[in-house]
Structure 1
Amino acid sequence: MLHSFAFSNFQSFRERTEVSWQVDQRNASAAWSLDADTGGRLSTVMAVIGPNASGKTGLLKPVVFVHWFMAHSFQMEPSAPLPFSPHPAGADEATEFEAEIDFDGQLWRYTLRATQQRVLHEALYVKRQRMGYVFVREWDEARQAYTVKQQDFGFAPSEAVKVRPNASLIATAAQYGVPLALRMVAPYVWSNIHQYGRMVQDSNQLIAAAKLFANHDAHRASMTQLLSQWDLGLSDVQLKEFEVAGPDNTQQKLWRPYGFHKMHDGSSFALDFAQESSGTQGAFILLSRLLPVLETGGLAVIDEFENDLHPHMLEPILDLFANPRTNPHKAQLLFTCHALEVLNLLHKSQVILVEKNEFNESSAWRLDSVEGIRADHNYYAKYMAGAYGAVPQL
């Protein structure tokens, strides 16, 4: 489970911003929270709320970037810049990232400091008696080379110092079969955002979701059951295989989803998902990102979670992360949302407010950090009245 993440000089966030998933022990019974393997209690959901252009998506991107960097940066072109943007006021300064997670039954901390041109510092720590390093990688400007020290990481020192400036030591070590690195590059984060923002919901997203369900019977069964329960008029979802010409003129197998709808005489008709409502399509695509995380554990990062969904659908979807039967491996969900009804669902420690000042600098804070807030407050009414900040100034 993710305990916390922090970053600075990233997009509209100039100063260090930290998001903690820790739940106060006085509120240990709060819904959507579970005991961490390494102690303490953590939220399984976290909503990010604020005006348009306040930096909500920017708050999500550091988590997605760090996971991508640790797992996939080895695949970059050697001269390619790292795909993140510092704050315009800090264009010549390094960007910093930090995350604390439960992994392999221990608490780990990962830190990264980099410019778009190179990694300046990368380190992995694990808590035994206390936090100790697994590796520390530093750029020596005077020598124009990296120094790397390791403890029980297992990457050949002669190779570790040669890791490319735009690649992670972990991603590179995985290519050499280092066991810990191989475990860490598994797909733990599923998201609908990339470097430039939220992925567009289109036919490509439908086909990608259909491919996942076609290759995983359990996910397909869960998806069909949930969509049928959510009053979308569906009685079944089936996937039909077809072939298209690939870039090298080879035939590629793809799948197209069809929804089945009942009629009065007991028969049913099939509808190509491209003709289904945008809400039905959105739920289908959303489940292709949530169900893998719920099955294995990890983190789903979803921008505009309620996009095209009725507000009443928020709670049953969030409940997937509260129920131990549907969330046996303590998966978590981080999402932005404009459906403010979520304020009446979540605990105050599970809401992050974001706003941007007149100097185009974003800031974020947890709702439970607001002075004077009480458990019996109507958070929705108070937020709409501007009591907590992070509302549009119109």
Structure 2
Amino acid sequence: MIHSLTIENFMSVRDRHVIDLGIGAAVNDNAERYADAWSGSAKRVPKVVAFFGPNAAGKSTVLRAIQHITWFVRDSFQFQANTTLPIEPFWGAGLEGEPIKLAIEFDTSEKWWPAPDNLPGLQVSPETCRYSYEVQFEYKNFRRSVLSEALYSWPSYAKRKIRLFERDANGDVSASIEFGLAKHKAVLKQILRDNASVISTLAQLDHEPSKLLQTASRRINSNIFIEKSVVNELAMLQFFQANPDFIESANRDLSNIDLGIRSMSVASGPHGPIANFAHEGLSRPVPLPLESHGTRQFLHVYPHLAHTLKNGGIAVIDELDLAIHPLVLPEILRWFYSPERNPFNAQLWITCQNVSLLEELTKEEIYFCEKDAAGGTSIYGLKDIQGVRRVDNFYRKYMGGAFGAVPTIG
């Protein structure tokens, strides 16, 4: 789960913003909506994090920050040498030449690597360790490249935060003994590029900690990428065809949310997989191209949600409410609250325009984005606004302008 996200000089976010999801022990209402940040911690984080605000206020930018970190950690070594990184700073005045800064604190269910030789036989429990990853990018000579990078952890045997590695502006990497870099350091110095992460580079050398972190990054399932793209229905159908258990799961959920569909089936066609839908009262199945936009949108995001719930991790969904009925949205949230449906405390990050969803959320789950006159995005949580009570009608107060982040018309 993500505990906090820091964004500075990235796309529409000009100033430094820290989205700290921490919930204190005194909050005991709706306990099923929160999970321990790590084993034995008094700090909890919400399982659902929702961002609201006007169009172009920067909601998607928050999710893109997560996706950029994920991509950079996992896949940046695949970039060709001398290729500029696909990351944009704030385009307004006053920050020319300033670095882009992204940081994320998280825990993972992936198994921690064996302890170093000076701690023989010690295996660190994955439930008691969390990480903090920080990266800075610079824009210089018309190229976007890495300026610095660092990874920290809190293993149970250390009882404190330790540095795993740090990379400076010259590309030099220093690491603690826990990171096990010694036998790879010489080769790393030769092949590390200014457009690739240390982790994605070391993974090519079969460095076990880096391979573990790459595996952890694959637990982030998102419907947005470095560049927004149109829905790829062929990829969606290929996923369902390769994972028939998800077809069964989707059929159960389709019938529960009453889209008028009895079942979906996927079969091989002359140009790839095709889907047909059996409807109540119809004598023949309906092919996917004739289904409603809402049904197709639901099926597009469904693999991200179902895979995350089944295996744990984080689902990052931009515009979850796009063409999906307002009464269906709370049901999707309930999947993440359910211990049976979400046994590994998977987390859901969403942007949403349908503000009626505010009536279904607690104040710890709600964040707003709005832009100032200079085009910079501000990000703030409802829990940080003084005077907000749990019994308040968040929908009515938001629509009345009490929380800000509403469009100005006229």
Distance in 1 of aligned mates of 2:13 and 2:259: 39
What letter is aligned with 1:94? P
Of 191, 200, 212, the match for 2:239 = 212
Contact 1:148 1:161 in 2 (8 A): no
Aligned to 2:148: 121
Instruction: Give the C-alpha shift of residue 91 in structure 1.
Output: 3.8
Task: Tell me, yes or no, if the aligned pair for 1:296 and 1:329 is still in contact at 8 Å.
Answer: yes
Name structure 1 gaps, 5 residues minimum.
245-253
Tell me the distance in 1 between the aligned counterparts of 2:280 and 2:267.
19
Alignment match of 2:134 (pick from 111, 128, 133): 111
| Cα distance change on mapping 1:77 and 1:243 into 2, 3 Å | farther
Q: What's the counterpart of residue 311 of structure 1?
A: 326
Number of equivalent positions: 374
The 2-side partners of 1:165 and 1:243 are apart by: 45
Are 1:6 and 1:17, in contact at CA under 8 Å, matched by a contact in 2?
Answer: yes
Q: Determine the C-alpha separation between the residues in 1 that align with 2:164 and 2:321.
A: 40
Matches within 5 A, 1:48-67: 48-67=51-70
Secondary structure of residue in 2 paired with 1:311: coil
Q: 1:190: Cα distance to partner?
A: 1.2
Aligned to 2:373: 358
Partner Cα separation in structure 2 for residue 391 and residue 189 of structure 1: 30
Tell which deviates more after alignment, 208-217 or 303-312: 208-217
1:36, distance to aligned residue in structure 2 (A)? 3.0
Provide the rounded CA distance (Å) in 2 between the counterparts of 1:139 and 1:275.
54
Deviation at 1:262, TM superposition (A): 3.1
Q: Does 1:236 align with 2:263?
A: yes
The one-letter amino acid of 1:176's match is L
- Residue number in structure 1 paired with 2:186: 158
- Could you report, residue by residue, the CA deviation over 1:292-311 in whole angstroms, capped at 9, with x for unpaired residues? 11111111111111000110
| Cα shift at 1:243 | 4.6
Report the counterpart of residue 206 of structure 2 in structure 1.
177
Which SS does the other structure have where 1:176 is aligned?
Answer: coil
Task: Tell me which amino acid in the other structure corresponds to 1:33.
Answer: Y
Q: 2:101 aligns with which of 89, 96, 117?
A: 96
Task: Provide the secondary structure at the position in 2 that maps to 1:241.
Answer: strand
The one-letter amino acid paired with 1:135 is F
Measured in 2, the distance between the counterparts of 1:96 and 1:132 equals 21
Q: Tell whether 2:203 aligns with 1:188.
A: no
Asked whether the equivalents of residues 165 and 173 of structure 2 are also in contact (C-alpha less than 8 Å), the reply is no
Tell me the distance in 1 between the aligned counterparts of 2:212 and 2:305: 21
**1:24 and 2:24 aligned:** yes
- The structural deviation recorded for 1:154 is 2.6
SS at the partner of 1:158? helix
Aligned to 2:389: 374
- After TM superposition, the score normalised by the length of structure 2 is 0.88
SS of the residue corresponding to residue 130 of structure 2 reads: strand
Can you give the 5+ residue segments of structure 2 that lack an aligned partner in the other structure? 109-125
8 Å contact from structure 1 (residues 262, 269) kept in 2: no
Deviation for aligned residue 1:225: 1.0
- CA distance in structure 1 between the aligned counterparts of 2:250 and 2:334, rounded to whole angstroms: 15
- Name the residue aligned to 1:248: none
Q: TM-score, normalised by structure 1?
A: 0.91
Structure-1 separation of matches of 2:403 and 2:234: 41
Preserved contact between residue 277 and residue 288 of structure 2 (Cα < 8 Å): yes
Tell me what 2:123 maps to. none
